[in-house]
Chain A
Amino acid sequence: EPEVTQTPSHQVTQMGQEVILRCVPISNHLYFYWYRQILGQKVEFLVSFYNNEISEKSEIFDDQFSVERPDGSNFTLKIRSTKLEDSAMYFCASRADPGKAFFGQGTRLTVV
C-alpha cells in the first residue's frame, strides 16, 4: 500500500540551527500538508501546499518556516533558526481525493 515517507525519524538539533525535514508524498497526490504535535498536545496545522505554492498557513508558520517541493517527489519543511519550543513531532500528509489525507509516520524534532 502506498504511504507517505518521512525522514529522518528523529532529529536532534541545537537551538538556533537550521533543520530540514523531508517527506515523500504518495506519488499521485497533489496536495501536501505539514502538521505538528507537541508532546501531549493537539495536532496543529502548519501549512498546505498545492501547485507549487502555499495555499494556506497557520499563525505558527511564521518567517522561520518555509516549504519547498524541490524535485517533484520530495516535500520539505525548513526551520531556519530553531527554538526550544519547536520541539515536536512533525507530520507530513498528502492527498489526492478530498477528505482522504494520509499522514506520514512523523519526524520527532528535539531542539536542545
Chain B
Amino acid sequence: QKEVEQNSGPLSVPEGAIASLNCTYSDRGSQSFFWYRQYSGKSPELIMFIYSNGDKEDGRFTAQLNKASQYVSLLIRDSQPSDSATYLCAVAMRFGNEKLTFGTGTRLTIIP
C-alpha cells in the first residue's frame, strides 16, 4: 500500500515569514513528486513538481526532494494571507504518469 504522509496541521505562520510543509512517502520506487494547493471547496491547483534530488525554485516556492530519506518539502517565502489553503503532496511512480497518490494535506493559515 503506497502511503503519502503529511502533518494535517493546522500550521500557522505570520505574514511575511517562511512556511515549511513536509511530506514523506513509503514507496522507494516513486519518481515524481507534486505539490498542489487546494482552497476550501475548490479543486487542487498545481504549484510545482520535482523529480530530481535537491531544490527546485519557482517564484516564492521552493520544493526540496531527498529520495534517500523519502522526503519532500515545500517552502513558501514571504507568506501572504492568500497562501492560506490546504497543501497537498502527491507522488507518482514515474514522471509523466499522473496516477497520483495524494496525502491528506496540511492546512496552512497565514496570520496577518
- A residues engaging B (CB < 8 A)? 31, 33, 35, 41-45, 48, 56, 58, 91, 93, 95, 98-106
Count the B residues whose beta carbon is within 8 Å of the partner chain — how many?
A: 22
| A contact residues around B44 at 8 Å (CB) | 43, 91, 103
CB atoms of B102 and A93 under 8 A apart? no
Chain B residue at minimal CB-CB distance from A43:
B102
Distance between Cα atoms of A107 and B101 in the complex (Å): 20
Distance between Cα atoms of A93 and B98 in the complex (Å): 9
| A contact residues around B90 at 8 Å (CB) | 43
| A contact residues around B32 at 8 Å (CB) | 99
* Interface residues of chain B: helix, strand, loop or mixed (majority): loop
Distance between Cα atoms of A56 and B66 in the complex (Å): 27
How many contacts between A and B, using CB within 8 angstroms? 49
Chain B residue at minimal CB-CB distance from A33:
B98
CB atoms of B43 and A101 under 8 A apart? no
| A contact residues around B102 at 8 Å (CB) | 42-44
B46 in the interface (beta carbon within 8 A): yes
Distance between Cα atoms of A100 and B88 in the complex (Å): 15
| B contact residues around A98 at 8 Å (CB) | 95-96
Pairs A–B under 8 Å by Cβ, sample size 13: A45-B100, A48-B97, A48-B98, A56-B99, A91-B43, A98-B95, A99-B34, A99-B95, A99-B96, A101-B100, A103-B44, A104-B43, A106-B42
B70 in the interface (beta carbon within 8 A): no
Indicate with 1 or 0, residue by residue over B31-42, a CB within 8 angstroms of chain A CB atoms: 010100000001
Distance between Cα atoms of A44 and B44 in the complex (Å): 12
Indicate with 1 or 0, residue by residue over B83-112, a CB within 8 angstroms of chain A CB atoms: 000001010000111111111110000000
CB atoms of B99 and A100 under 8 A apart? no
* Interface-central residue, B43, B100, B101, B104, by most chain A CB under 10 Å: B43
CB distance from A81 to the nearest CB of B (A): 25
CB distance from B27 to the nearest CB of A (A): 14
